Amino acid sequence: MTRIVCAYLSGALITLMILGCTSGPSEDKNTLAVVNEYQISASEFQRLFAEDAKTDPEMRVTDQAKQDYLNEIIQKEVLIQEAKRLKFDQKPKFIRTIERYWEATLIRDLMEAKSQEIETRVIVSQEDIQRQYARMKNDNPDLPPLTEIETELTTRIREEKKTAMFQNWIEELKQQANIQVNKKLMEDM
Instruction: Please give the distance of CA 157 from its chain centroid, rounded to a whole number.
Output: 29
Cα–Cα distance between 119 and 159 in angstroms, integer?
Answer: 9
Pair 157, 132: CB distance under 8 Å: yes
Sequence spans of domains, the chain: 2-90, 122-176
Give the pTM. 0.58
Taking only the tens place, the pLDDT of each residue in 105-163 is 999 999 999 999 999 999 999 999 999 999 999 999 999 999 999 999 999 999 999 99
Cα–Cα distance between 26 and 38 in angstroms, integer?
Answer: 11
Of the candidates 148, 153, 110, the residue with the CA atom closest to the CA atom of residue 131: 153
